[in-house]
Structure 1
Amino acid sequence: MTVMKRPLHLQQTEIASLLLHLNSLTGLVFLQDQQHPVIGFLPQAYLQVQNGQSHFMQRNEQLGYQVQEQTINCTDFIAFAPTREPADAGFQGGIIGFVSYDFAAQQQIQNQSKEQPALYFGRYRSYLKQEQGQWYFYSDEAQAEQLWQLINRLFMQPLSTEADFQLTQPCQARWSRQDYQHAFTQVQDYIRAGDCYQINLTQEFTGVAQGELLATAQQFWQLTNAPYAGYLKLDGFELLSCSPELFIDFQADRKMSTRPIKGTMPRHADPQQDEQSRQQLAASQKDQAENVMIVDLLRNDLSVYAENGSVKTPILFEIESFNQVHHMVSEVTAILKPEVNPIEMLLSALPGGSITGAPKIRAMQIIEELEGAPRGAYCGSMGYFNLDGTGRWNILIRSIQKYQDQLSLWAGGGITIASDSDAEYQECFDKVSAMLNLLNTWQKP
């Protein structure tokens, strides 16, 4: 099938500005995807789950959407072709979407779910992609010319002020320090009782807002410079990702890799102090122990669908530095069995071990008991699959979600028997305070 590729001649190239011009289009989505940015819009069809109900929508000739009566599950939503020679890096047309923590956990435990969308997969055959600093329009659809004309008209229109964003109530911690201490103590009681080895205990920061979260996106992406940033808009739901963490990279020839983060230290403006923080993390036996627990858990998760003997751990305890924090990162690789649908593999492995704990099912049960509110999209995954089954999916940490006027931002860390409550509480703020402070600059006077 012939693919239309045309360069876009744009006055502004900031990603958030481009998204604001396309804000009226159904299924608007952006993925930073390391260094391969892509913007999707008007999917051919999409599958959405909300409040336990699945909705399958198909685009019509007028570029509107109609409900399809047939039932369809995630693994049937797209048929992957046999692995081909790899094309250009990044998205090439296929599925883009997200899976919430709530949806993923429900496959294994009983848990509550936020009212907002819990899963979304869109089939995108028309999209924008940045290559060597230039944006291009790609499409292999019959309506490619119509879509090309539409987005050019939208880019020529001035931006509406209706997208302005304001907090009507500041975003602040739902828990007090004493609330956190109480939950931390309960986690350690469970560890002593033998229920678990580690729990990823997180806390929520909530606010009330009006306007479009998208209006804040460029400042958040500049603040964090996150390799797995993203954005998704579904009616009254917006998801803004500033994630540094890769969940699974599905590569050519059925190769897979995952890079769990476990271990954090803050960055410092003073170079000597910053290097000391980095070295302290690199030498931390506690963080290494936590990291190994999660590596073992993910090795087990991948091995279920991997070829025998293919699961390897080529990297342990590598230190990666981001704008606000240093992280300890390891890597696990494997080869997917040829008969396994990559979507099946993704859904089975979620939620990621780095944001649950070990053993995973008991950890998720304890999280459900202690955290006091469903996580929603936080600690889920956002990403894409190409038609050959390759693709990349992140872990939705450092992410803001807005549904109607309710806003939430989460942060947390892994708790083990060796953890210190004050240090773990501070780690939450090391991870999220810069984002929280920036967010609260939009507070209505």
Structure 2
Amino acid sequence: MFRKLLDFPSNGIADLLHRLDSLFGCIYLKNSGEDIIAFSPEQYCISIQQQLFSYSRNHFTHYQKDKTNPSLNHFFNFTTQSAPKTQHTFQGGYMGFIDYNYASRQHIDANTKSQPNFYVGIYKTFIKQEKGQLFFYSLEDCAEAFFKFIQQLLATQSLNNQKFKLLSKCSATWTKSQYDQAFAQIQKYIKAGDCYQINLTQEFIGKANGSLLDTAENFWKLTDAPYSGYLKIDDFELLSCSPELFIDFETDRKITTKPIKGTMPRYDDPILDEQSKNTLIHSEKDQAENVMIVDLLRNDLSVYAETGSVKTPKLFNIESFKQVHHMVSEVTATLKSDVNPFEVLFTALPGGSITGAPKIRAMQIIEELESAPRGAYCGSLGYFNFDGTGSWNILIRSIQKYQDEVSLWAGGGITIASDCNAEYQECFDKVSAMLDLLNTWHQPQNEF
């Protein structure tokens, strides 16, 4: 592994990404507090409207389309060597995202957004931030030349002159009445025995110019989320402020998932904040929702796990974030020795915490009732090392921008015990701080 200190003062992740903007497939991941920035994948697969293509790099900045149609089973070529003891550390491998609808189409007939729905690149060159310094890493034969190229690129001021601005405020696409109608239909399905829980979400959209990356540092500071990230593919940008882990692929074939189900708002007043937390701790409704999803995930993982290895070491833990308290459980398992980690990830998506139960019927109801495809929201962003270790989040509290449209979503689990007004308010408890911040970039156009 080539490793060398970059002569560049760290002025924040967003500044670094701006300077690397000319490179294809720039991606940033924060996993367990470690900042990783990768770019210029050696090869990548991308799907737009269910058409999958692969491209190979023939220069630091140039790609050509591969002549043969890609096969994901062959694209993910994991080594059989035992994994090094470097959990939660990217050492070169696969990075990218899978959107909600791309994953749900494994199980149901689903529409997709007209933007990238799946993207994974083979990244052998990347930057890590270590103790305030930036280190260049590469597994490529051209590592020394690539280092010099990146060093020159970082020394050049970003040419991004069009600053991000909203042309129209980001606002809900549903009225309260439309939400009420969807909620009522879910209650009918539950009473008819179709489902136990449906994760109903709503979209907030606006029109925008410029790069979403301009907003990133503000959002990461606002949320302080453990599974933050950023990805740019041409005119598509994805900004993650997610607090939720989907699956950690650890050494010795161990996997961990930490579903979130149950939310209460934070307050500046410590007494009110503690009361809100205690309400969540003792909420039988939220515990019932949470255990449904835990059972669903245990079932999903058991297909690939060694018999008897699926455990639930933590149930109904309360984790506190900047805007909300969440109820979080933990499920662990040990994968069978012949299992492909990507197959485990892909077939377990979409995550049960953002569908409902039973899972396939829940996805069908979501497809019927929600106003638009979710896209990257409720999908997953993350990485695999070449040895199959890695970490993937659930893309909640996330913003996506494609061309001139920017959107974010929020929702919650609906059960027979749910109150419509409370569930509607929970959407805003989750998203209002991000929505308010996003709308500070609104600049009304002059009227003539």
TM-score by length of 2: 0.97
Q: Is the aligned partner of 1:294 residue 2:282?
A: no
* Cα distance change on mapping 1:246 and 1:88 into 2, 3 Å: closer
Instruction: State how far apart, in whole Å, the 2-side matches of 1:321 and 1:113 are.
Output: 33
Match of 1:12 in 2: 10
Q: Where in structure 2 are the equivalents of 1:3-402 lying within 5 Å? A: 3-61=1-59, 63-82=61-80, 83-87=82-86, 89-402=88-401
Instruction: State how far apart, in whole Å, the 1-side matches of 2:84 and 2:160 are.
Output: 46
Contact 2:262 2:280 in 1 (8 A): yes
Letter of the aligned partner of 2:3 in structure 1?
A: K
Instruction: State how far apart, in whole Å, the 1-side matches of 2:141 and 2:87 are.
Output: 23
Cα distance per residue 1:127-149 (max 9 Å; x no partner): 00122332210001012122211
Match of 1:427 in 2: 426
SS in 2 for 1:223: helix
Instruction: State how far apart, in whole Å, the 2-side matches of 1:47 and 1:80 are.
Output: 16
Letter of the aligned partner of 1:411 in structure 2?
A: A
Letter of the aligned partner of 2:327 in structure 1?
A: M
Instruction: State how far apart, in whole Å, the 2-side matches of 1:62 and 1:334 are.
Output: 40
Cα distance per residue 1:104-156 (max 9 Å; x no partner): 00010001100000000100000001223322100010121222112111211
Which stretch has the larger CA shift, 73-82 or 233-242? Answer: 73-82
Contact 1:163 1:215 in 2 (8 A): no
TM-score by length of 1: 0.98
Shift in Å at residue 85 of structure 1? Answer: 2.7
Instruction: State how far apart, in whole Å, the 1-side matches of 2:124 and 2:102 are.
Output: 26
Contact 1:36 1:130 in 2 (8 A): yes
Shift in Å at residue 163 of structure 1? Answer: 4.5
Cα distance per residue 1:174-209 (max 9 Å; x no partner): 001111111001111100000000000000001110
Instruction: State how far apart, in whole Å, the 1-side matches of 2:162 and 2:136 are.
Output: 24
Shift in Å at residue 46 of structure 1? Answer: 0.2
Contact 2:264 2:280 in 1 (8 A): yes
Instruction: State how far apart, in whole Å, the 2-side matches of 1:163 and 1:283 are.
Output: 49
Letter of the aligned partner of 1:407 in structure 2?
A: V
* Cα distance change on mapping 1:327 and 1:88 into 2, 3 Å: closer
Cα distance per residue 1:280-302 (max 9 Å; x no partner): 10110100000000000000000
Contact 2:10 2:133 in 1 (8 A): no
Shift in Å at residue 97 of structure 1? Answer: 0.4
Instruction: State how far apart, in whole Å, the 2-side matches of 1:429 and 1:187 are.
Output: 20
Shift in Å at residue 425 of structure 1? Answer: 0.4
Instruction: State how far apart, in whole Å, the 1-side matches of 2:398 and 2:228 are.
Output: 9
Instruction: State how far apart, in whole Å, the 2-side matches of 1:62 and 1:34 are.
Output: 29
Shift in Å at residue 161 of structure 1? Answer: 4.1
Cα distance per residue 1:386-424 (max 9 Å; x no partner): 011000000000000011001110000000000000100
Cα distance per residue 1:328-358 (max 9 Å; x no partner): 0000000111111000000000000000000
Q: Give the aligned CA root-mean-square deviation in angstroms.
A: 1.0
Shift in Å at residue 444 of structure 1? Answer: 1.4
Shift in Å at residue 88 of structure 1? Answer: 6.6
Which stretch has the larger CA shift, 81-90 or 352-361? Answer: 81-90
SS in 2 for 1:47: strand
Instruction: State how far apart, in whole Å, the 2-side matches of 1:385 and 1:9 are.
Output: 28
Contact 2:205 2:407 in 1 (8 A): yes
Contact 2:220 2:241 in 1 (8 A): yes
Instruction: State how far apart, in whole Å, the 2-side matches of 1:55 and 1:221 are.
Output: 32
Shift in Å at residue 62 of structure 1? Answer: 5.4
Contact 1:357 1:363 in 2 (8 A): yes
Letter of the aligned partner of 1:286 in structure 2?
A: K
Contact 2:162 2:209 in 1 (8 A): no
Instruction: State how far apart, in whole Å, the 2-side matches of 1:85 and 1:237 are.
Output: 35
Shift in Å at residue 79 of structure 1? Answer: 1.2
Shift in Å at residue 11 of structure 1? Answer: 2.5
Instruction: State how far apart, in whole Å, the 1-side matches of 2:57 and 2:406 are.
Output: 30
Instruction: State how far apart, in whole Å, the 1-side matches of 2:342 and 2:157 are.
Output: 39
Letter of the aligned partner of 2:356 in structure 1?
A: G
Instruction: State how far apart, in whole Å, the 1-side matches of 2:130 and 2:343 are.
Output: 31
SS in 2 for 1:169: coil
Identity %: 60
Shift in Å at residue 55 of structure 1? Answer: 1.1
Which stretch has the larger CA shift, 249-258 or 62-71? Answer: 62-71
Contact 1:382 1:395 in 2 (8 A): yes
How many residue pairs get aligned? The number is 443
Letter of the aligned partner of 1:321 in structure 2?
A: S
Structure 2, unmatched stretches of 5+, are: none
Which stretch has the larger CA shift, 81-90 or 327-336? Answer: 81-90
Which stretch has the larger CA shift, 155-164 or 357-366? Answer: 155-164
Instruction: State how far apart, in whole Å, the 1-side matches of 2:315 and 2:162 are.
Output: 44
SS in 1 for 2:167: strand
Letter of the aligned partner of 2:78 in structure 1?
A: F
